[in-house]
Amino acid sequence: MSPEQMIQMQDGPEKIFPVSWDMFHRDVRALAWRLAAIGGFSAIVAVTRGGLVPAGIIARELGIRVIETICVASYHEETEREALEVLKPLTETILSRPSEEVLVIDDLVDTGATAKAVREMLPKAHFATVYAKPQGLPMVDTFVTEVSQDTWIYFPWDTGLSFQAPIHKPARGR
């Protein structure tokens, strides 16, 4: 992360994109429709933690019963990036399958660092995310919604109901 990006994150993201449960479920089902058209998947790998919820929905929609996790940490306290760390690697259940039958699911591809690490383990797997940022796009095969790199997505499991200030900030001394 560049020094400018670090300063920006300390001050808060420039743009925010709050996602409700209804919106997230609709977007994940849209992703499932796209993946159903591709087909041929026998197992899902959910990238934790963000990929857990969409992987469950997609597994239901596509009738896939083999679901595995890869536990990767790339954020500290939800906003600060740190070195990528694989906390739980893939199991033999997944590694013994042809990787082209494996569907890797995550909620978001940001810089692409996590996706790159998983792709090195499963080079022919199909990588799908609900949301994608420009830097990470080359690492994703299928996604639903692209957001700008300077947008911070607030997922429904990260938020509660509260007042949201308007985007427009009136000039002082009206």
Asked if 45 contacts 102 with a C-beta cutoff of 8 angstroms, the reply is yes
Given 106, 141, 150, 158, the catalytic residue = 106
Residue 11 annotated among the catalytic residues of the structure:
no
Q: How far apart are CA 84 and CA 139, in angstroms?
A: 16
Known binder of ligand: residue 50? Answer: yes
> How many residues can be counted in the chain?
174
Residues in Cβ contact with 1 at an 8 Å cutoff, skipping those fewer than 6 apart: 9, 81, 111
Residue 107 annotated among the catalytic residues of the structure:
yes
Residue 106 annotated among the catalytic residues of the structure:
yes
Known binder of ligand: residue 114? Answer: yes
Known binder of ligand: residue 173? Answer: no
Q: What is the DSSP letter of 14?
A: S
2 residue type, one letter: S
Known binder of ligand: residue 167? Answer: no
Given 27, 110, 150, 158, the catalytic residue = 110
Known binder of ligand: residue 153? Answer: yes
The catalytic residues are: 106-107, 110
Report the binding-site residues for guanine: 110, 153
Report the binding-site residues for GMP: 110-114, 152-153
